[in-house]
A and B are shown apart, each in its own frame.
Chain A
Amino acid sequence: MFGYIVRRIISGVLVLLVVSVAVFALFFYGPADPALAYCPETRCTPTRLENIRHSLGLDQPVAEQYGTYMKNIVTGGEFELGAIGIDCPAPCLGVSFKLRVPVTEYLADRFKATLSIALGGAAIFLTVGLTMGILAARRRGTLADKGIVGVSLFINAIPYYLLALLGWLFLISQWGIFPESGYYGPIEEGPVAWVKGMLLAWVILGLAYSTAYARFSRGSMIESLNEDYVRTARAKGLSERRVTMRHAMRAAIVPVVTIFGLDFAFLLAGTIFTERIFDIQGIGLSALDAINGKDLPIISATVLIAALFIVVMNIIVDVIYSVIDPRVRLT
């Protein structure tokens, strides 16, 4: 297993290298010139543009820029933007053109907000989704089952941004049932404020995601409840609860883990709608701003981090597989 994980990490690093090259290429051969974004429209002389290019390091060959970028990740580096010198410790993902701060530091701060959304949301959608799915599977064909599937499809049919917007509009703005949303600093600086600010975002995100998990775990559970070994468990005289939770669930959870791994990675990479509507300054919003501002270091760092999450979650999912199913040998 150890060897397997090492190999997976190596191949993951290769994936990340390819991703970083692709991001660089897209940016440099794309239609927009980032230097233009920092050149005042009315007084943008060629000399001035050249100066900006120089100060951003954009006048060097692309390959060289990429090399510097990679080097800085490992060793850290010094940046000079205009007249200001900025120290960027490793892992240095560059310095924001616009904000003039090291990207790593900036994104790490932003990431706390995104992580807060993802963790709370996942806790809700996993609990609600799996509970509903198992309930529906156990009462397959009954009114409860049809109700759960119906409601889940209904919620699923509403576009997520609409659901979130309506939730914010009525539950916070209009009726004031939920506290004002927003990210008021990390949990350790005020857990109550943290929970209050996140609450509706968690509920809406959890609700929207739980619908898919309910239907998915229902299907998976119905399948495993029909397995011979579940009948064997019942034949041993085990309680129905134990039969469901220990025998059927254990098998039904395997496909759910796969989906969850990917979903969670995507959530960590930023939830633009949630962040925008509930005013939570996370990675998704910063990426949006960076794209508008053509802030190359933030964009490439965000893409790289998103790819990193996917690679890491995939490895974690594989390891979880081998823990759940003893037939899976990671070699």
Chain B
Amino acid sequence: MTDNVLSQQQRTTASGSSTETPGTEPYLVVDNLTVKFPTADGVVQAVTDLSYTLEQGSTLGIVGESGSGKSVSSMAIMGLHDYKRTQMSGSIRVGGREILGLTNNQMQSVRGADVAMIFQDPLTALHPFYSIGAQISEAYRAHHDVSKSAARAKAIEMLDRVGIPQARSRVDDYPHQFSGGMRQRAMIAMSLVNDPKLLIADEPTTALDVTVQAQILDLLQELQREFNSAIIIITHDLGVVAEMADDTLVMYGGRCVEHGPTKEILTHPEMPYTWGLLSSVPEVSGDTDARLIPIPGNPPSLLDPPSGCSFHPRCTHRDKVPGDLCRTELPELVPGNRGSHHLKRCHLADPDSIYAAEVLPEIAPDLVDVIIEAREDDTPPAPEGR
């Protein structure tokens, strides 16, 4: 595993355009994080040996299906797991401070202030009995010793900032009086009220309709430029990743299976699970009869994970690996064909040719276009943070 850590660090320095001075650590460092839940049926291995880093001002997309460990690993950064029922090892450093061993009470100063979170469904994530303004003020007053009226003024300012019209009169509304998109804006306002340096967005657009999704993503990007915060965006939507994330980390069965710059992950993926994710994205324009290609099988059991590569029972390419390697041996997370910044966990010797010959024709062509466009549009005019 030392190799992995090393390559991670190399990757961070290689991507280089960071505003951090050399020698200082990235804002978030997750190192060999393992999360286990002992249950009556055995130990659930929710996350195994997860390592990544994130600089201020940049965005990491974590992709995977339900139960892949993407949410659990982020909950661990917030300390929102059940302390009595969770075993964790490894290291999570936020702004240089180790937070893994902190107690629930000690985490209170980190939560909401250094690291804030946006949840999937703002209707259930906002308290139905308190007004929007009261909930935002409460978050502000949890970390600032100010009067109620000052906190209220701050709440109005934040609501205005996230684009709630007539914030001054809407501040006393209750969540059920807001539309879905406005609720998520209010949620964003609440999470940013303490100016956190790291924002974790757990499927922030899944519960919203498509037109609102785009607005929310735009808002997040705009606010990121303004506050220079680091963002982790957890999603199963590759479109969201394409639009938002500088780097992408694909998780499967609690492990990182592919990690690299988003553009590369989307255009030159080297791991069959990532291929599967790309092939199962529907084509927006064009042939409506085109078949979606689902990934066969079910997500692996975290109680009794498959031997070797946890994806091998569902992998259609495992016969291309000599011997029974996929079943017997867990592949290491190692640099792929494009250098040390792109890591993959797969035994396939020549993934590029298989991808070009067998996978690429199945991928919705407009997805590829969107990806390329999004990344190219996005990269140049962002001198501030990147």
Of the residues A229, A239, A250, A327, contact of B126 by C-beta under 8 Å: A229
Known: A227-B124, A326-B174, A327-B176. A239 touches B108 (CB 8 A): yes
Minimum Cβ distance to chain B for residue A120 (Å): 30
Within 8 A of A (CB), among B94-153: 104-105, 108-113, 116-117, 119, 121, 124-131, 138-139, 142-143
A236 at the B interface (CB under 8 A): yes
A251 to B117, CA, bound (A): 22
Known: A228-B119, A240-B105, A327-B176. A235 touches B127 (CB 8 A): no
CB-CB < 8 A to B190: which residues of A?
236
CB-CB < 8 A to B109: which residues of A?
237
Known: A228-B121, A239-B108, A240-B104. A234 touches B80 (CB 8 A): yes
CB-CB < 8 A to B112: which residues of A?
235-238
**Max chain B Cβ within 10 angstroms of own Cβ: one of A237, A239, A325, A326:** A237
Q: Interface size class for chain B?
A: 20 to 34
B238 at the A interface (CB under 8 A): no
A237–B176 touching, CB < 8 Å: no
A196 to B119, CA, bound (A): 55
Nearest CB to that of B78 among chain A residues?
A235
A184 to B328, CA, bound (A): 85
A145 to B383, CA, bound (A): 56
A236 to B192, CA, bound (A): 10
B127–A233 touching, CB < 8 Å: yes
Minimum Cβ distance to chain A for residue B76 (Å): 13
The interface size of chain A toward B, counting residues with CB under 8 Å, comes to: 20
A251 to B127, CA, bound (A): 9
Of the residues A236, A238, A250, contact of B129 by C-beta under 8 Å: A250
B128–A326 touching, CB < 8 Å: yes
Binding site for A on B (CB under 8 A): 78, 80, 104-105, 108-113, 116-117, 119, 121, 124-131, 138-139, 142-143, 174, 176, 190, 194
- Give 27 pairs: A residue, B residue, CB < 8 Å, sorted on A: A228-B125, A229-B128, A231-B80, A231-B119, A232-B117, A232-B119, A232-B125, A232-B127, A234-B80, A235-B78, A235-B80, A235-B111, A235-B112, A236-B139, A236-B190, A237-B108, A237-B110, A237-B113, A237-B143, A237-B194, A239-B105, A240-B105, A247-B127, A250-B129, A251-B128, A326-B128, A326-B131
